[in-house]
Structure 1
Amino acid sequence: MHTDTERCVRAVQSKDARFDGWFFTAVLTTRIYCRPSCPAVPPKVENMTFLPSAAACQQAGFRACKRCRPDTSPGSPEWNARADAVARAMRLIQDGVVDREGVPGLATRLGYSTRQVERQLTAELGAGPLALARAQRAQTARLLIETSELPMGDVAFAAGFSSIRTFNDTVREVFALSPSELRQRSGKADPRRPRIPGTISLRLPFRTPLTPDNLFGHLAATAVPGVEEWRDGAYRRTLRLPYGTGVVALTPQPDHIGCRLALTDLRDLTIAISRCRWMLDLDADPEAVDEQLRSDPLLAPLVDKSPGRRVPRTVDAAEFAVRAVLGQQVSTAAARTHAARLVTAHGEPVEDPLGGLTRLFPSPQALAALDPESLAMPRSRRTTFTTLVAALADGSLPLGIDSDWEAARAQLSALPGFGPSTTEIIAMRALGDPDAFLPSDLGVRRAARGLGLPSTPAALTARAAGWRPWRAYAVQYLWATDDHAINHLPA
């Protein structure tokens, strides 16, 4: 979008927050870069240039605006709506792969050479993977500086910097302030900020509108005891992370999602934030989604009533695939019971002083070692379950944010007991395909019939062609017509 100068200028002059994260405005005279909605007086058109990423701005020598804080913009919705190499690379970089495995590790996961990855990212984003990861480290450092009382040395290494000198230089270059000055500004801005020992509190931004009832309602209604809970107006769950474990509490607010994290290793902060944003679909573009769905006159009233519905996703694709099999042909309550038994028997214990969470969801390796006869389910579903966890455990079925959606569908469909519905729900909620569709789902068919849409799978699929590429969001609107617990915020 940054190449459409006229459209970018209009967005900046109107301070349109819908375009935050889509592109960044770099001011040639002040050498500052801003988000489109920056409240400052817009610069002259001839002094503006537009870049596709914060990393590209930083690499070109611009520093972040202290007023609009462009580093805290929602992520570009483009990376979650595409399945090509660049989009998959961006999702992996946000998940901290470059910091953990380097550019060679990123290239290996994508199946390309490092030179190809560098070339593709630079061509589209104006920066290579190292610069993109550096920009993310700077943002994490700012969060830790402003929301914790950690010593600066601990902040540097928790944010992923290899040395304190690099940390200091990067913070000064990006924010035009030293780390100590950033912390002082933060304290003066809000001296009453509540600090709970051992936790980090922050705000997760999103593009408005956002209707939270089905998003949090779905997560709360399907919560596995010990792993997830709804407490004090927040969805809470345990997290398995690369360097340790964590507990997150996510609270819906009108203009942001409140996020409180307790981590055993602060190096996991960036990854934890990325996975929470992914789970809540916070980088979606609701304007584009709703505009497309409103083109169907039978869907339009649902969109107008509750615009901005998101797809409830997951923090762990393998976990969700296992839970999808446990939920085959049973009620929500029965699926929770099956999952709770597995968690009690095989989940790793965690500490949660602020709530009632006790365990991590079992890893595929732990589940692959269990006795199939201990599973209280029909023999055919036991076979489905054991085949799935074996494939997940040995790596022959890689499921994650970087998965090729169609390749993953083909692998899942080849497993015994995997029909279109199970495959599509995994593609929708675990892999993040915005066009996943469930025409044979009972709730979707019942809602379609009530709205006057075709209710047979083939006819509904044909009608849904006009909803592409956002059919997963159409499913959320259809599900929301039912008075089910998944569609309401818990009391």
Structure 2
Amino acid sequence: MTPTPRLDPESCYRAVKSRDRRFDGVFFTAVRTTGIYCRPSCPARTPAYGNVTFHPSAAAAQAAGYRACKRCLPDATPGSPDWDVDADLAGRAMRLIADGVVDREGVDGLADRVGYTTRHLSRILTAELGAGALALARARRAQTARILIETTDLGFADVAFAAGFASVRQFNDTVREVYAASPTELRGKRRGGRPATGEVRMRLAVRTPFAGRALHAFLAAHAVPGVEEAGEGWFTRTLDLPHGPGTVRLELDDELGRGGTAMVPATFRLADLRDVGAAVERTRRMLDADCDPVAVADAFAGDPVIGPLVRRLPGLRVPGHPDGDELAIRTVVGQQVSVAGARTVTGRIVAAHGAPLPEPEGGLTHLFPTAVQLAAADPESMPMPRARGRALVGLAGALARGEVDLSGGADRDDVRATLLALPGIGPWTADYVAMRALGHPDVFLPTDLGVKAALRGLGHDLDDVPALTESWRPWRSYALLHLWHTLDVLDVAPTTSREDD
């Protein structure tokens, strides 16, 4: 297979020779003489230059006839950070494929989501990622299946359907082809399996350094009663998934791993095991799992403002969100009030309009109300000023009608323009939604009161902000989070302090 234009073979080979972990997930190395593909940092002996090819995705390597290395597990790497940086058609499609759209709606459904014909989408994906949508989805199913085989006691039939396969036979054939081993061989000495209970424990790969405690502090500070709960080192929340409700519990710590990749323990409780793939991908968004923290740190190394903050708190993530519609609605609820006030008001909306969980878990009692449910609500009944209530119901209506697409499949600029056209939605809200719901790495909020307080606290003149922020591209979202983290996240409301909405 011919490498895609993005991959320069000589540069890739230098990364392989140095076993540079920064490129894990960015490209994959296939060795002709062994028929195996690896991550760049694989500890095995470096193959000769003439015996290797480089591929932009695990699916591309698999389509070329290579099987995954059993030593470095290349398919388990975090995704490429380029997908969020570029946010091009291929990147948007990959977010939807990872969420299981191809499994649920087929390639035609994926093409409809991104607004292109099936033929054009296939051409772009093959050119950019070396494989079409079906092959990319198949690689994702195989990787999910391997994790479930190796880390759970689920029976193989349960694993097959949880990973998104249409049949046990398809599951067996794919696992044998991709890993050169049967499901039984992958599980090794762990014999048998107990019936599926709906609980799946996994470890989610993120690049190091990983500031898990800072991520936990942010999520805990914004936890909405009934939907989210946090304690010492853990965070849990409900998930509204395609086949039913679920919950996830994350263990977040800074000491999760050294040397390139950390593993975040996650426990999922699902009403339907077919939702494993979607639940994992939405949780990975929350963790900003595809971030390359070394590249971010390098970009700020010489910066007089952000550089010292990055060195003080390496590996800081931009917290994503598992549901774009929910994030947008919560952002409107929190306009011009404190974080604590926003949590209280949102909790009341959840109690009044959210669907109760069949089996509550601790403080988790409800799913967040859907856009359809809130679009039918009376704006006057909302526990907030009337103008903001009308803005919230208007936004919910636009989301319910599909006029605003926050699934990650739409172009970010188009989404922003559509949001700004809605009453009560200003630049702060639109940009904040882009940062957390769409994974935009280059958002800055110059009117944010928390940002201004942070810069003043660091001794910088606010008149210098425009010039400073230009030098922070394309990682301004990370600069923003570093500024917020100089403040007390409970006392200063970064998600609500704005002047333009």
For this structure pair, what is the TM-score category when the shorter chain's length is used for normalisation?
over 0.9
Is 1:163 aligned to residue 170 of structure 2? no
How many angstroms apart in 2 are the aligned matches of 1:347 and 1:406? 31
* Residues 465-474 or 365-374, more deviating: 365-374
Kindly provide the CA deviation profile for residues 11-52 of structure 1, in whole angstroms up to 9, marking residues without a partner as x. Answer: 222222211101111111110111111122222222222111
SS of aligned partner of 1:149: coil
Q: Is the 8 A contact 1:228 1:235 kept in 2?
A: yes
Give percent identity, aligned residues only: 56
Q: TM-score, normalised by structure 2?
A: 0.92
Aligned match of 1:78: 82
Q: Which residue of 1 aligns with 2:385?
A: 378
Corresponding letter in the other structure for 2:355? E
- Structure 2 partner of 1:461: 466
Residue 290 of structure 1, CA deviation:
1.7
Query: How do residues 301-450 of structure 1 correspond to structure 2 at under 5 angstroms?
Result: 301-351=308-358, 355-450=362-457
Matched with 2:28 is 24
1:153-174: per-residue Cα shift (whole Å, max 9, x none)? 2222222222222211110011
In 2: Cα distance, 1:92 partner to 1:320 partner = 18
Take 2:385 and 2:177, find their aligned partners in 1: how far apart are those partners? 61
Distance 2:245 2:491 in 1: 27
Note the 1:92-491 alignment, pairs <5 A.
92-184=96-188, 187=190, 198-231=198-231, 233-253=233-253, 254-255=256-257, 256-351=263-358, 355-456=362-463, 459-485=464-490
Structure 1 length-normalised TM: 0.93
Q: Classify the secondary structure of the residue corresponding to 1:46.
A: helix
Number of aligned pairs? 481
Instruction: Tell me by how many angstroms 1:195 deviates.
Output: 12
After alignment, is 468-477 or 158-167 more displaced? 158-167
Q: Is contact 2:154-2:196 (8 Å) kept? A: no
- SS of the residue corresponding to residue 240 of structure 1 reads strand
Displacement after TM superposition at 1:146 (Å): 1.8
Distance in 2 separating the partners of 1:403 and 1:205: 26
Contact 1:221 1:486 in 2 (8 A): no
Structure-1 separation of matches of 2:27 and 2:491 = 35
- d(CA) in 1 for partners of 2:30 and 2:488? 48
Supply the distance in 2 between the matched residues of 1:486 and 1:28 (Cα, whole angstroms).
58
State the alpha-carbon separation in 2 of the partners of residues 31 and 2 from structure 1.
23
What is the CA–CA distance in structure 2 between the aligned matches of 1:154 and 1:463, rounded to whole Å?
A: 53
Code of the residue aligned with 1:382 in structure 2: it is G
Query: Which residue identity is paired with 2:66?
Result: F
What are the superposed Cα offsets for residues 157-200 of structure 1, whole Å, 9 maximum, x if unpaired? Answer: 22222222221111001111111111125x39xx9x99995411
Q: Which residue of 2 aligns with 1:8?
A: 12
Change (3 A) 1:379 1:464: same
Q: Alpha-carbon deviation of 1:373?
A: 2.1
Answer yes or no: is the 8 Å Cα contact 2:85–2:440 preserved in 1.
Answer: yes
The Cα of 1:353 is off from its aligned counterpart by 6.3
Listed one character per residue, the Cα deviations across residues 51-72 of structure 1 (whole Å, up to 9, x for unaligned) are 1111011111111111111111
The aligned counterpart of 2:70 is 66
Partner residue, 2:260:
none
Alignment-derived partner of residue 499 in structure 2: none
Structure 1, unaligned runs of 5 or more: none
- Cα–Cα, structure 1 residues 486 and 405, in superposed 2: closer, same or farther, change >3 Å? farther
Counterpart of 1:138 in structure 2: which amino acid?
A
CA distance in 2, matches of 1:446, 1:348: 39
**Does the alignment pair 1:87 with 2:53?**
no
User: Which amino acid in 2 is paired with 1:287?
Assistant: V
Confirm or deny: 8 A CA contact 1:210 1:307 kept in the other structure.
yes
Question: Is 367-376 or 430-439 further displaced after alignment?
Answer: 367-376
> Structure 2: which 5+ residue stretches go unaligned?
258-262, 493-501
Amino acid at match of 2:451: V
Question: Cα RMSD over matched residues?
Answer: 2.1
**1:415, 1:3 → 2: CA distance?**
41
Deviation of residue 83 (structure 1)? 2.1
1 CA distance for matches of 2:478 and 2:53? Answer: 34
